[in-house]
Amino acid sequence: MKVLVLEDDELLASLLAEELSEAGYEVLGPAETVAGAFGIIAQGQMPDLALVDIRLRYGSRGTEFVKEARERFDFPCIFVSAEASEAFLHRHLALGYIGKPYPPAHIVECVAMAEEMIEGRQPERIPEGFHLFA
């Protein structure tokens, strides 16, 4: 499964990409802006899932990415952010929300659950700290 990482914190993005790669996921990015994420997609790398921070570099907003990605491509996104109120305000756009801070290994568990849902299976459990919107 291809997972796009849209995260402007370089250290966190690197740790997240490493954890996902070690778990067998193909990581696209990381991108630190909405334009960067759409640039990855424009290169023909379509994600199956995107992990999206809300407040990004240079005033870029992850909510804008999720809205446009949903309209243009229809792949699921999960907000991964400290911006809980904004994530819940935009809950109609995303599969769910994971609050920061979090251990990167926790994200792998959440991505595995999302993968089950994408494949049409009912997840056995929802990981602690994952707020399912869909």
Which sequence spans correspond to the domains of the chain? 2-105
Q: What is the pTM of this model?
A: 0.96
Dihedrals phi, psi of 84, to nearest 5 degrees: -60, -45
Class of domain 2-105: alpha beta
Give the residue ranges of DSSP H helices in 62-103.
Answer: 62-72, 84-89
Q: Name the E strands within the chain.
A: 2-6, 26-31, 49-52, 77-81, 96-99, 130-132
pLDDT of amino acid 133 = 93
Q: What is the pLDDT of residues 38-81, one digit of tens each?
A: 999 999 999 999 999 999 989 899 999 999 999 999 899 999 99
The fraction of the chain above a pLDDT of 70, given in percent, is 99
